[in-house]
């Protein structure tokens, strides 16, 4: 996962995070918008997220609400 960001939303009081997911080995990547996924980063609990869009290089934007799957 690259380009990870998070912010605390003052209206709902929850963290909103997003980043880009890529498959370095050329593995098939799912289509965005097809439901919920769980992102697992080594040493952290899985975090629910949604695949939102594909960039021109084939990477996927993933976003979630709640505790981020990466260290702040």
pLDDT at residue 9 in the model: 85
Contacts of 63 (CB under 8 A, 6+ apart): 16, 17, 18, 49, 50, 52
Residue at 21 is within a domain: yes
User: How many separate domains does the chain show?
Assistant: 1
Residue at 72 is within a domain: no
Residue at 49 is within a domain: yes
Is-contact 39 69, C-beta < 8 A? Answer: yes
In the chain, what's the furthest Cα-to-Cα distance? 40
pLDDT at residue 13 in the model: 87
Residue at 22 is within a domain: yes
Residue at 71 is within a domain: no
Q: What is the pTM of this model?
A: 0.71
Residue at 37 is within a domain: yes
Closest of 50, 16, 1, 47 to residue 30, by C-alpha: 50
Start-to-end C-alpha separation, the chain: 14
Per-residue pLDDT of the chain (72 residues), as tens digits, is 566 778 888 889 888 988 888 766 555 667 777 678 888 888 888 889 998 888 888 788 889 998 877 776
Domain span at 27: 2-65
pLDDT at residue 42 in the model: 84
Residue at 61 is within a domain: yes
């Amino acid at each position: 996962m690259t380009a990870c960001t998070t912010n605390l939303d003052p209206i709902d009081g929850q963290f909103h995070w997003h980043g880009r997911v890529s498959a370095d080995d050329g593995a098939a990547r799912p289509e965005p918008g097809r439901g919920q996924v769980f992102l697992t980063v080594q040493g952290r609990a899985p975090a629910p997220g949604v695949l939102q869009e594909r960039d021109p290089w084939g990477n996927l934007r993933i976003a979630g609400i709640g505790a981020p799957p990466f260290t702040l």
